[in-house]
A and B are shown apart, each in its own frame.
Chain A
Amino acid sequence: ELKVEQNPLFLSMQEGKNYTIYCNYSTTSDRLYWYRQDPGKSLESLFVLLSNGAVKQEGRLMASLDTKARLSTLHITAAVHDLSATYFCAVDGGGTSYGKLTFGQGTILTVHP
């Protein structure tokens, strides 16, 4: 059974600082997604990572994937208040479980002055 673990689960950051969220998963997969969720809202797609060594960047967020280590990271650069949200990584089961995403517990990010 595929398991996905994120850490930290809670992250309080000062504006302007950098930090990294980690996503570990238990079985081989070639598709990993990062989503953002604001309170009371649905999930917004941020990144899709499809191969070992893949790196995607959008604004102050950068995501990477190491399929050998079964690890993805979401790096936040010079945080701003607007980045406050819950961030989820999700891994596609692949093969006969293609399309079935298993989500991590989520990381609640709070950026304060």
Chain B
Amino acid sequence: GAGVSQTPSNKVTEKGKYVELRCDPISGHTALYWYRQSLGQGPEFLIYFQGTGAADDSGLPNDRFFAVRPEGSVSTLKIQRTERGDSAVYLCASSLVGAGLDTQYFGPGTRLTVL
């Protein structure tokens, strides 16, 4: 079946601009996660949704970052007043919930470059 999809695959923007990154999870997965990965590093957790609500947003670096999942499926990560330090690959993952079922499956990522 279809995996996690993310759009756009690449986004180049200028410092100070606003961007939106979209994630379509695997059909039927109730949990959705956002991570970001800088070059040469492991992914860093940003936020976890269970259904429509953010169950854990402790990884969002500051109030310029915001994410929504209004209908419990597609999610959008929004970044205001982008800074050069926001440049990274933003990864989305989805999973079922429950012991043995909650492996997170990752999408291809959106590469964000802030000039």
Contact = CB atoms under 8 A, between A and B. Distances in A.
Interface residues of B, number: 27
Secondary structure at the A interface, as helix, strand, loop or mixed, is strand
Interface in B54-75: 55-56, 58-59
A24 to B, nearest CB: 14
Interface residues of A, number: 24
A43 B48 CA distance: 17
A83 B104 CA distance: 21
B33 A48 contact: no
Given A41-B108, A100-B48, A48 B100 contact: yes
A42 B106 contact: yes
Interface string A29-61: 001010100000111110010100000000000
Interface string B36-56: 000011111100101000011
Contacts of A4: 42
Contacts of B106: 35, 42-45
Given A43-B106, A104-B42, A106-B42, A99 B55 contact: yes
A41 B108 CA distance: 6
A42 B58 contact: no
Interface string B92-115: 000100011011111111000000
A101 interface: yes
A100 B56 contact: yes
Which 6 residue pairs across A and B have the least CB separation, nearest first? Answer: A103-B42, A99-B48, A43-B106, A42-B106, A42-B108, A100-B45
